[in-house]
Every structure is written in C-alpha cells, then in structure tokens.
A and B are shown apart, each in its own frame.
Chain A
Amino acid sequence: MEKFKTLTAVAAPLAMINVDTDMIIPKQFLKTIKRSGLGRFLFFEMRFDDAGNEIADFVLNKQAYRNAGILVAGDNFGCGSSREHAPWALLDFGIRCVIAPSFADIFYNNCFKNGILPIKLPQGDVDKLMADAMRGANATVTVDLESQLITGPDGGEIKFDVDSFRKHCLIEGLDDIGQTMRRVAKIDAFEEKKKAAEPWLFRTGE
C-alpha cells in the first residue's frame, strides 16, 4: 500500500449527498479482482453518455478537474454496496483524499485499507472547501496527515480528526494483511480454543 503523508492537489467539488458505490463504479465493472484500470470507469454513468462520449457538465470531465486528487462531497459518501472496487476506482483515477461531512461505514474503512484518506469535517468546513473547489484548477488544496491540517487556496487552515492507529497505518503504508500477520500466534491459539468449543464450525467436508 502506498504511504500517505502529504498531498497537494486540485480538489473537485461533487455537491451531492448519498453518493452510492453504484455511482462510483457500476456493477458491470465488478468482474475484475484487479485493483488497477478501474479509474476510467469511475462515476461511469455520470461521466459518459450512452454512446460512450464524455458528458461535458460532469465535474471530472471539466479541464480544471481532470487531474483532481481530492474530492469534496456531501453527506453519507460511499453508501450502498460494500464493493471495494469503489475505493480502487477512485485511487486508480488519482483521487487519494475524499472530504465530506459523513461517510458510509464500510466505504470509509475500505479507503484506509487502500491508501485513501477520507476526512470527515463539519458541514461549514465542507461548504468552505466546496466553494474553494468550485474555483477550479487554481484551487489546489494541501492535506497534511502528520499535522492533520488542510490548507486551502487562500492559506486558511482547517484541522481534522483521524483515528491515531489508522493514521499510523496510512503514514507507514501498512495494510491489513501485514497487521494481521503480526498477530498470527494469537490467531492460532484462538482457533484451537474455538475448535474445542464449537467443533461444528470446523468441518472439512463430509
């Protein structure tokens, strides 16, 4: 997993609430289990028309936002299906940070597992960043994870909260498998105990 320390990028405004994972990456692209290559299908139905042409109005199709690295969105971002393809698609497009007043739980967790920083901020702060983002390519925003500070295009700073363990994992680029393997002795001991107490869970075919 790629480390996340600091990010300076154009922020794209997506002023919608309840952006669901079907919008982020529709089901026809879920047949892959590769994490790469999904970026061109990100927000597919909002980004392209039936003939496959770009819809000019959509934010990521506008010249200023084609290389956006940050997304600013409304409440409950990432709701619906738990597909991990949603953070994969964002990451593959180049989005490494999503800022919203609230996130759906599973999506929020999946971001951290894939090197994306989701930031929850009060509505007022999101509104300010949304207005900044509307200003286009000149509106680069800097997100510094170490100091937990967002610096807007005017130099204004916004402090954000992040769980200290998740912060550590992002900064170090540690994913779940690495974390889990460090506890393998405890896992083995637990499984032995479980086998004795609930043997019906451990059948190996009949």
Chain B
Amino acid sequence: MLATGTLLQKPAKNMRVAVEGELPNGVGAKDIVLTIIGHMGTAGGTGHVIEYSGSAIRALSMEGRMTVCNMTIEGGARAGLIAPDEVTLDYLRGRPLSPKGAAWEMAVAHWKALKTDDGAEFDRELVFDAAEIEPCVTWGTSPEDVLPISGSVPDPESFTAAKRDAARRSLEYLDLAPGTPLADIAIDRVFIGSCTNGRIEDLRQAAEVARGRKVAPGVGAMVVPGSGLVKEQAEAEGLDEIFIEAGFEWRQPGCSMCLAMNADRLEPGQRCASTSNRNFEGRQGRGGRTHLMSPAMAAAAALSGHLVDVRKLDREGK
C-alpha cells in the first residue's frame, strides 16, 4: 500500500444487517454489535462487507455508529458501513480534516449519492429486533461468547462438538463455573476507552453512570479518551472531574489496556470489565481475564465491584 498507493482486492460479498425498532433504555451501540456477533459468530461475516441499516441504526449517533462499524471485524467481515445521512454530515461539518466551502458542497452532493438502492440484493441478510436487545457482556475468550447480563455462564456441554473444547478452555482460562449468574462475577479492574468505545459520547455515558457515586473498594478503574480532541472536549464538559470524583483514573489518550502494549495491563488472574473489542487470552496482559461490554456497563461494574445490569444500579442503592 505504501509502495504503490493501491491494494489488490477482490470484490467482497454484500451482507445487510438491519436492526429495526427502538432500543430499550440503558442499551446502546455496543450491545447491538455484541448481540450481532453473538448471533452470527466471529466467522459469520467472513468474505463480506456489512451494511448496517434499520431504524435503530439510523437513530444512533455518529459515535454509536462507529462503535458498531469498528467491531465488524470481530464478526469476521472486512468492513462495516452505514449510509451517510444528516447525522453523518452534522458530525463531519467543521472537523479539522473535513472539506470546506465549495469543496464541502461538492463532497456533500457526492456522499448523499452513496446509499444503497431500493430493492438492492444482498448475498446475506440478517434482521434484529432492537426491543429484544439487552445489555450484554462476554463470558468467554472470543467476542462471539456473548450473553445478556441477565444470563448465566453456559455449560460447555451445551455446545456442538466443534465449540465444546473452546468453551471448556475459555471457562478454565477465565476461572468461571457453568451456571454462575453473570451478574455475580466480581472484577478487579475496569478499562473505559479504546477505538471501540473511547469517543466523547462513550465518556458521557460512563460519566452519567459514575456521577455522584464511588468506585467499589479494591477495584482499579481507568478512563482513557480515544484521542486528544476527545480528551479536550471531555474536560471542557467537566467529565474528567466526575470520573476523578468517583475514583476513576483520568488518563492521557491512547490504546492503553485494550492490548497492553504499554505498562497498562492486567496482572495474571486479574479480571477486567472492558469497553475494548477483544477478549482473547492474554490480550490485556498475560493471564488477564476480559469481559467486554458497553461504557455504561463498565462504569456500573466499577461502582458495584461485579458485573451488573446498569439499569439495576439505582435499586442496589449505590
């Protein structure tokens, strides 16, 4: 790519994933994409580019759409996209690298043409009902190992032969017993950040949960903005103070504990509620145990000391 400015590619197959209807309160973009991956598996999109559509997708902010598209690769697909609309244009208008003046008008006209024709055919189509999506967490070491927080750790014996060994290995690595309610899983660390969930809206959602509450004793929680611009904006909105007040660390922007390439990493055996995209063995540090979830759910876990349905936080009086 750097040598020639081009890449040899074969046209991908087309897949459409429609999410129709209204999301319940407390359910967001991360829950949508985890639900999709849980349904189709990490190889479900192999060879395809996915277009996300439907009223629940159109209702998402640009940040939420980016979360969904970002995790497309965890579903095996090459790329994820959402047709540009007013939400897209509002997001781009005035950004540092956006075209300006006449070039902007020209670009808008071009972008508006980039939508799928009515009646277009796809190689594969999936439809989800937004109303049925719940806050999700992962229970294993693959992003497809997803369940609603109301669920329990599954029994490996309940899977087909191909998946059984992987599930056994996951549960052994994560030190989880089948049948354990997911909401009973205690955590040591919380990571809010990454390219999946380090945008301003993610930080707003987490701050909304954290406001006026305290991180549970013994839990180390950190918030890492996705970029310098996000950090600036969050500080302008006072989100940093909410987090610090609640006992979160407020950090410099970067990849941080998504992949533990710097000193931000889990110690062996530590368990983390993370807003990143991958829960592979060792991803957040050798021997570290990762549960993926939304920023609101990760913040709720930090306050409770265990995985928890963010919608139940108030009733627990914390």
Contact = CB atoms under 8 A, between A and B. Distances in A.
Interface of A: 15-18, 20, 22-23, 26-28, 30, 45, 50, 74-76, 79-82, 102-106, 123, 176-177, 179-181, 184, 187, 191, 197-200, 203
Nearest to A183: B6
B250 interface: no
A30 B8 contact: no
B236 interface: no
A79 B286 contact: no
Given A16-B169, A82-B73, A198-B110, A180 B281 contact: no
A104 to B, nearest CB: 6
Contacts of A76: 41-43, 46, 76
A184 B6 CA distance: 10
A206 to B, nearest CB: 9
Contacts of B259: 22, 27
Contacts of A16: 165-166, 169
Contact of A199 (B74, B76, B77, B103): B103
B5 interface: yes
B103 A18 contact: no
A187 B106 contact: no
B7 A176 contact: yes
Interface in B93-113: 99, 103-104, 106-107, 110
The 10 closest A-B pairs by CB, nearest first: A200-B99, A76-B43, A200-B103, A180-B4, A22-B280, A27-B259, A20-B280, A45-B282, A105-B46, A27-B261
Contacts of B162: 17, 74-75, 123
Contacts of A74: 162, 166
B221 to A, nearest CB: 22
Most buried by A among B6, B104, B107: B6
A198 B81 CA distance: 20
Contacts of B142: 18, 20, 79
Contacts of A177: 3-4
Contact of B278 (A17, A75, A80): A80
Range for the number of chain B residues in contact with chain A: 35 or more
Contact of B261 (A18, A28, A103, A104): A28
A22 B78 contact: no
A203 B8 CA distance: 24
Contacts of B283: 22, 27
A17 B110 contact: no
Interface string B273-313: 00000101111001000000000000000000000000000
15 contacts: A17-B162, A18-B166, A23-B282, A26-B282, A45-B282, A75-B162, A76-B76, A80-B278, A102-B43, A105-B47, A106-B78, A123-B162, A176-B7, A176-B8, A198-B110
A27 B3 CA distance: 25
B43 A104 contact: yes
A126 to B, nearest CB: 11
A203 B97 CA distance: 10
A27 B74 CA distance: 17
A10 to B, nearest CB: 23
Contacts of B110: 197-198
A85 to B, nearest CB: 13
B318 interface: no
A103 B43 CA distance: 8
A17 B4 contact: no
